[in-house]
């Protein structure tokens, strides 16, 4: 079955730096991969979706890459701010396409 691995340790960076979060999957290559943000006590919020035939997707300060050879997606936040502090979840479609499989997430902490 498909498994998703995200950095288990928290990522601590200084304001203004670029944060890079990793999502690796173990089995089949998904048709789509999604990234969500989750704040404590809240539900996840959708950020970006990237398709298997797209190498890169950007939205404002966010950039996602998708490498099906490495079975990996990277999520970048440039010019990070303390307000970016949250847990970021990677999700991909399960093979039948009925639902998403989520990773445990990586907690990002941006200090000023």
Partner 1 sequence: EADIYQTPRYLVIGTGKKITLECSQTMGHDKMYWYQQDPGMELHLIHYSYGVNSTEKGDLSSESTVSRIRTEHFPLTLESARPSHTSQYLCASSEGGNNQPQHFGDGTRLSIL
| Footprint on this chain of partner 1 (rule: CB under 8 A) | 4, 31-32, 34, 41-46, 49, 89, 93-94, 97-100, 102-105
Neighbour tally for 97: CB within 10 Å = 10
Q: Could you tell me the smallest distance in angstroms from the CB atom of residue 102 to partner 1? A: 4
Residue 84 or residue 93: which is nearer to partner 1 going by CB? 93
> Can you state the percent helix, strand and coil of the chain, rounding each to 5?
5, 55, 45
Nearest CA-CA partner of 30 in 63, 6, 53? 53
Residue 18 or residue 99: which is nearer to partner 1 going by CB? 99
The answer to whether residues 28 and 52 touch, using CB atoms and an 8 Å cutoff, is: no
Residue 31 or residue 79: which is nearer to partner 1 going by CB? 31
Q: Could you tell me the smallest distance in angstroms from the CB atom of residue 16 to partner 1? A: 28
For β-strands 86-93 and 32-38, DSSP reports them as antiparallel
Q: Could you tell me the smallest distance in angstroms from the CB atom of residue 105 to partner 1? A: 7
């Amino acid at each position: 079955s498909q498994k998703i691995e995200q950095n288990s340790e928290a990522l601590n960076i200084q304001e203004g730096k670029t944060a890079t979060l990793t999502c690796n999957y173990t089995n089949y290559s998904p048709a789509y991969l999604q990234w969500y943000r989750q704040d404590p006590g809240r539900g996840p919020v959708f950020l970006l979706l990237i398709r298997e035939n797209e190498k890169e997707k950007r939205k404002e300060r966010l950039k996602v890459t998708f490498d099906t050879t490495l079975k990996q997606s990277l999520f970048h936040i440039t010019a990070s701010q303390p307000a970016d502090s949250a847990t970021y979840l990677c999700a991909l479609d399960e093979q039948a396409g009925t639902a998403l499989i989520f990773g445990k997430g990586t907690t990002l902490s941006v200090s000023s």
